[in-house]
Amino acid sequence: MWKIITDAIPQLLVAGLKFTLPMAIISFVIGMVIALAVALTRISTKRGAFNLLRWLASAYVWLFRSTPLLVQLFIVYFGLPHLIIPGVFPEGIKLDPFMAGIITFSLNTGAYCAETVRASLLSVPQGQWEAAYAIGMRRGMVLRRIIIPQALRTALPPLSNSFIGLVKDTSLAVSITIVEMFEVSQQIAATNYQPLLMYTLVALLYAVFCTVLSWLQSWLERKFSAYTSVEGGMIS
């Protein structure tokens, strides 16, 4: 049995490091950019064209939070090639599986993180805006230098949650033919007839990845909490 495990681990790890983690990291980075843009749009109070933008941002968040991720993957990978628009997409939108995965995971995680980012931006006291405006900063600089650094501290635990969730959700990419970690475990199980062992093993590897990420989260939290006197935790 030991031999089966030691044979399987390198193959699983290669798939994990080649597809699972890169897919999760790239999607999360793109997702965060989307999240920040959506959150800023939603909290802006500008009128005119911004009304439409705000509506679009809300619609996007609603759409991706109220439909299953697996179905989203199917629509992007299997569905879009059939979206034939003469002149624009005469042959439908055909994406390679990895690209389809990145696009779907980014949009999905972006919708969830947009709400986290929005809440954390709003959690920074109004007085911080006022103090920054009073020293003559403009809105962009206030956000960049005063509001976002403070909001990040609040957003870090829920954002880490989303990221860890995303790492595990990439296993759904198996359904759009990506040879990521879970797919490899299925292939090995199909040849050595050890499904219990293989799926437990791949589960453990996901757990290892996520544990390392949790450590990274704690480290970041400690780094960011340097300025708060109460180091996390409640007053007892």
Minimum gap (Å) between residue 49 Cβ and another protein:
17
Pick between residue 6 and residue 228 the one whose CB is nearest to another protein: 228
Residues contacting residue 114 through CB under 8 Å, at least 6 positions apart = 34, 35, 36, 38, 39, 42, 57, 60, 61
User: Considering CB under 8 A, how many residues would be counted as binding another protein?
Assistant: 22
Secondary structure class of 85 (helix, strand, coil) = strand
| Cβ neighbours of 178 (radius 10 Å) | 24
Region 74-113 residues binding another protein, contact defined as CB under 8 A:
none
Integer Cα distance of 202 and 182 in angstroms = 7
Integer Cα distance of 58 and 56 in angstroms = 5
Pick between residue 61 and residue 121 the one whose CB is nearest to another protein: 121
- Answer for which of 85, 88, 196, 226 binds another protein (CB under 8 A) is 226
Minimum gap (Å) between residue 138 Cβ and another protein:
7
Q: Taking CB under 8 A as the rule, does residue 145 contact another protein? A: yes
Region 107-136 residues binding another protein, contact defined as CB under 8 A:
125, 127-128, 130-136
| Cβ neighbours of 29 (radius 10 Å) | 12
Query: Taking the mean position of all CA atoms in its chain, how far away is CA 233?
Result: 26
Pick between residue 42 and residue 153 the one whose CB is nearest to another protein: 153
Secondary structure class of 211 (helix, strand, coil) = helix
Q: Taking CB under 8 A as the rule, does residue 149 contact another protein? A: yes
Query: Taking the mean position of all CA atoms in its chain, how far away is CA 4?
Result: 33
Contact present, 89 and 83 (Cβ < 8 Å):
yes
- Answer for which of 11, 58, 150, 187 binds another protein (CB under 8 A) is 150
Q: Taking CB under 8 A as the rule, does residue 47 contact another protein? A: no
Minimum gap (Å) between residue 123 Cβ and another protein:
13
Minimum gap (Å) between residue 85 Cβ and another protein:
41
Residues that bind another protein (CB under 8 A): 125, 127-128, 130-138, 141, 145-146, 149-150, 153, 226-229
